Structure 1
Amino acid sequence: METARNEALKAWMREHQYSANSLARAVNSGLEALTGKPGTYDGRHVREWRSGRVRWPNAATRHVLADLSGKSAVDLGFVPRSRTSPAAAPQEDPMHRRTLVTGAISVAVAAAAPGAASTRKIGMSDVGRLQKKFAAVIASDHKHGGQRDIEQQAADLADAALNLLNSGSATQRVRDSLYATAASFRSSAMWAAIDGRRFKDAVAHMREAQALAELSGDQAIKFRIWSHAGTLYRHMGRPADARAANDVARNLHITRRDPMFASLGLARQMAIQGVSHELRSLPRTFGEAQEAMHRADPNAFRPVWLLAFWDEAELHSLALSAHLAAGDWSTAEYHAHRCLASLRPHMQRSRAIATSRLAQAQLSQGEIDTATHTAMKVKAEAATQHPRVSRMLQEFGAALRATAPGSVNARTWTEHTAAWRAPA
């Protein structure tokens, strides 16, 4: 007898844009949150579910799939072993329901059978295991940036934190920490979507992250989310909204307690001033941001996301962005060189962006040979796989051809970019 394909699972995966591999990763994360041990699924296992070869996964896996989807195993097209077809299977009691929190966020809540409610005690060690994964997400973002799989992984881990929260009892401290952790993951999903220029997705992540941050009461993650919101609106061409969002971040009391946060808020204000062509304000704002950074206690405890990127190099990177947007090419070039000279090795995404901007600043000053040479330093991986870098280099190529049509530099650049697209 031919095995019936699981069309319900296939349709759900298509609707929520899961590949076999990304669903396997999400299930593995959920299993680790549920059991304390990472799952071992890969894309092959998911394809077996989808093809109908595996008709009824084990109980823990069914639980995780229910948490991910909000549907029972039967609704996802799985068939209990004692039954012969989905039509013959009785409807299960829902294992999962969705509840809106502050009108923005869906929180997974397990609904067990009467008398069987979980009594598991959730502790800070559980939070710590998730936070280690957050550090890995941050590292992956700085290396690759803007990728859909980073966005999906971060979103899945946000859901895993919420599922863990609802899988047992916890103290208020643990609950607040889990909400903050979920908000951190969701804000990383937001940033990956911003960096990949998927602005509609970024807005959806932002709203969930903001609600989670409010539930956590964590000032640092609130700052990150609102500061990211300012960047999102700036990239969307909405400088007034960008300024308003960044002002929310800058007005949080954490900026008065720790000047390092104040420094980042000022630097992102400078980037907004750049797109608003407030050229005369830029040197003053840069100076204030730099002074706040130097005033900050180097030994103060700070979240991993801030420690991983915020330093003098990134301050110069935002100054580069501001002056480039404002049309001050020579000052933009100065900040580009300062940024590239001090970037930490792991900041590969930032290096590609700064190099692309440096090439734009040089070309705008008529330095055609130098600009072409600079642009060719961007690695092929970033040039082809990072949406923001790809767009910058496309704009550089268009400007180069307009500035020096038919020139040796224009032909060299065309040949160089053709090599990126050539099959290996």
Structure 2
Amino acid sequence: MSPVSDNPIVVLGAGPAGMAAALALHTAGKGVVLLERYGEARPAGNILNLWPPPIKALGLMGVDVDDLGAPCHSTFRNAKGKVRADVQIPDDVVTRYGGGFIGMLRPDLYRRMLAAIPEGMLRTGQEVTGIRDRGDHVELTMKDGSTRVTPLLVGADGIDSVVRTHLWGASPKREHRLHIIGGYTFDDVADAEAGECIVAHDRRVQGSYTSIRSDGRDGYQWWTLEACDPDAAAPADLRGHALKLAQGFGDPLTTLIEHTTDDHVQRWIIRDRKPLRKWSKGRITLAGDAAHATSPYAAYGAGMSIGDGYFLGQLLARVDLADTAAVAAALDRYDEMRIPHTTMQVQQAYMLGKVFHHAPAFLRPARDAVFDSTRFLQKQIGERSPGEIVAQLDEMGAGILTPA
């Protein structure tokens, strides 16, 4: 039996990155198996937002993106409502992809992606304990002692990736010393701006909300973000703590939190790892958080993960997996396309966290004066980011089999 021709590509990890990689490779005509260590593919977190490039990618992979979330227009504001940056997505992009910014619930994205996975592709309860690149194939040792052979291994196994560690060694997590408390409600809250994503800051807290749509219901997601000691115990009352933080913003944020039930509230500590200069080696590569764990300040972690999978499928579509040199060349091109973009987003998100939440107290008034009276944030967020979104859409081409 040939290790290349008779065995599927293995994608490790069934989060957004892994499912996207599996779907894109399948669309490209490759045999794929998606291995998940847990007993089911399950979402981590509750709230989520996507920009147009991942919406385009999902649709071209066969995922149903119709009415996936709520189309939103995005602004950065101060706590009193003054607009500091208006994210100006071109009208034709908004029309084509159902919005400039899509507010949704993370479980809805998982359900849509899982529904597109062909029967038999996803295997749960599959934990890899050993990885060996044999040159013309990769050999995996499973927790039950069995072995699996694959022509290509895609490590989409999250921030604690065993594939990343195998390729590039252990690296410490980078503490942002920030945490988010977020939740959602489907109650009709007066004064909440439907169709808007409002990212607001006071001197030390971010207090934000956006429209969402889930299973035909319209609602709102919200979040508060502040500096924290990552080793300290979590607040005993998450919703109550978020409500306290939101007082500086007033309604509608406080009312949205009041209308949220405790079971719709979650907290997570923000961590990442410093970006890698290389993802791929031999017949092994990375995708998603395994490659570029990202602060929510980028609002693009899941979106970039979906993009990784899309381009991986596109670049390998016409590659003979038996040709080791061709596989290596495709993975090198994948690194060249994805690493600069994702590294920039990861580092920008990290720096935004520092600027908004770790500036010395005596500098905060000057910082806010600059944001309120100059076009600094408008240029960086309102204009530069939309330009990058349009460039990504162009870079994607017409489909996985029809690159730009």
Fold in common (TM above 0.5) = no
Q: TM-score under structure 1 normalisation?
A: 0.23
Question: Larger RCO: Structure 1 or Structure 2 (Cα < 8 Å, ≥ 6 residues apart)?
Answer: 2
More strand by share: 2
Which has the higher Rg, Structure 1 or Structure 2?
A: 1
More helix by share: 1
Q: TM-score under structure 2 normalisation?
A: 0.24
